[in-house]
Structure 1
Amino acid sequence: MGMRTRTKVIIGIAAGVVVIGGVGVVVGPRLYADAVNGSAAAAPSLSPAAAGKLDAASADGTWKSGSGSYAGYRVHEVLQGQDVTVVGRTKQVEGTATVADGKLSDATVTVQVGKISTPEAARDAYFRDKALQTDKFPTATFRVTKPVDVSGALGGSTQSVTLSGDLTMHGVTKSVSADAQVAVGKDGDVQVAGKVPVTFQDYGVTAPSLGFVTVDPKGSVEFSLDLAK
């Protein structure tokens, strides 16, 4: 994407151009904000299905993510005085986790950043090509570095945990903490849903501030994993 095209993309977002059925419809900032906020996905949470249980023999081993898993980001923007919550999602995510003696001893989540999308393709192009430079840094990875007790979840409860680990994004690795929930699904799968707060500048990512639209310097990386052996 050239500089002129990129500038048009950003201005188009700021002006509130919404494409409906292939036809560009220009709306005001308030209507645009309402449309984006209304389409923003809720934060990841565990399935409302009744929780199951796993004994130690069934729980121990390596678990891998299935097709129901996803990851992405959540950021806040101010567009000409209007608050906008933007949520990007992709199912192009791979997760593995090792459970031993009631503890999550190791886990890694890898996200194809270039596949993250929102309802606004122009915004996606800017974040993909300019902000996150996915041609150079196609993936983001969160790796758990400290074992955490998940015996409560294995015993049939929804358990809140703090996952300590390293987040690598835009070629930069930082130690972070993720607030997550863990539970066993009714089919014996393990569900993990959580978020990692991020400050973009820590990863060499500059959030755009163009006068008419400002993106908060902080956001979060979100993930929801359905793990099976």
Structure 2
Amino acid sequence: MRTGTKVAIGVGAAVVAVGVVAGIYGPGLYADWASEAADDEPTLEASMEALSDTEAVEGTWTVGDGSFAGYRVDEVLQGADVTVTGRTEEVTGDVTVADGAITAAGIEVDMASVATDEARRDEYFRDQAMEVGTYPTALFELTAPAELEPGATAVELTGDLTIHGVTQPATVEAEVAGDAAGGGPVQVIGSVPITFADFGVEAPDLGFVSVEDEGSIEFSLQLESER
């Protein structure tokens, strides 16, 4: 979006139902219900283990079924905190591993398919905030090799994050695990904090409901070997 006025008008239609529900049931009860509806943060599956042999994962890996990406943001409704998450499984891309490091990665997310538990919020997100007709995808591209430590899951990914047509440098605190030695998939999870204004998005504030200026992008990737 290009002006704060446009954001304010768009979000008005998106949150009017929230205000009605909160008025009937009370903001505290609504906040509890809404936060319970939020998805859990991405975690490594129980079957995944730290990579003991990084050579076993060398090659190119493709984003497969079971992957997802989305956002997490806090809203404040008449003083009550509400956590909202939006998710999509429409994620594509690939990751290359060589010499014990992730050397290349490009992950693309279809922004039009990101959804929460509230259709009107999703309509605002697509049409007003993200303007998906003009900027249909978000993209993360690795810009520096990320070393993989045998027996450890933590890895720091440095790259460029493009949202709403704006590209900003980003550091992603991620975890990598899998069963690559046995031919199974590799899972990568992580999140990156963002400030909406950095991507030309102004967090709306209508008095009775407001969105925090910062949020996070989070993901869980199921990678399949191309070997």
- The letter for the 1-side match of 2:220 is S
Report the counterpart of residue 198 of structure 1 in structure 2: 194
Q: Is the 8 A contact 1:13 1:123 kept in 2?
A: no
What is the CA-CA distance between 1:54 and the residue it aligns to?
A: 7.0
What is the CA-CA distance between 1:8 and the residue it aligns to?
A: 3.6
Q: 1:163 to 1:50 in 2, by over 3 A?
A: closer
What is the CA-CA distance between 1:93 and the residue it aligns to?
A: 0.5
What is the CA-CA distance between 1:136 and the residue it aligns to?
A: 0.8
Point out where structure 2 has 5 or more consecutive residues left out of the alignment.
Answer: 1-7
- Identity across the alignment (%): 45
Report the counterpart of residue 12 of structure 2 in structure 1: 7
Q: Is the 8 A contact 1:52 1:188 kept in 2?
A: no
Report the counterpart of residue 74 of structure 1 in structure 2: 72
- The letter for the 2-side match of 1:9 is A
Q: Is the 8 A contact 1:15 1:29 kept in 2?
A: no
Q: 1:181 aligns with which of 172, 175, 178?
A: 175
Q: Deviations over 1:97-135 (max 9, x none)?
A: 001111100111111111110111111111111111111
TM-score by length of 1: 0.87
Q: Is the 8 A contact 2:61 2:96 kept in 1?
A: yes
Q: Is the 8 A contact 1:168 1:174 kept in 2?
A: yes
Determine the C-alpha separation between the residues in 1 that align with 2:166 and 2:177.
31
**SS of residue matched to 1:16:** helix
> Any residues of structure 2 matched to 1:1-229 within 5 Å, and which?
7-16=12-21, 26-51=24-49, 53=51, 58-152=56-150, 157-185=151-179, 188-229=184-225
What is the CA-CA distance between 1:15 and the residue it aligns to?
A: 2.9
Point out where structure 1 has 5 or more consecutive residues left out of the alignment.
Answer: 18-24
Q: Is the 8 A contact 2:48 2:187 kept in 1?
A: no
**SS of residue matched to 1:205:** coil
What is the CA-CA distance between 1:146 and the residue it aligns to?
A: 0.6
Cα RMSD (Å): 2.2
**SS of residue matched to 1:128:** helix
Q: Is the 8 A contact 1:54 1:188 kept in 2?
A: no
Q: Is the 8 A contact 2:50 2:176 kept in 1?
A: no
Larger RCO (CA within 8 A; separation ≥ 6)? 2
Instruction: Give the paired residue count.
Output: 216
Q: Deviations over 1:16-39 (max 9, x none)?
A: 37xxxxxxx953222221111111
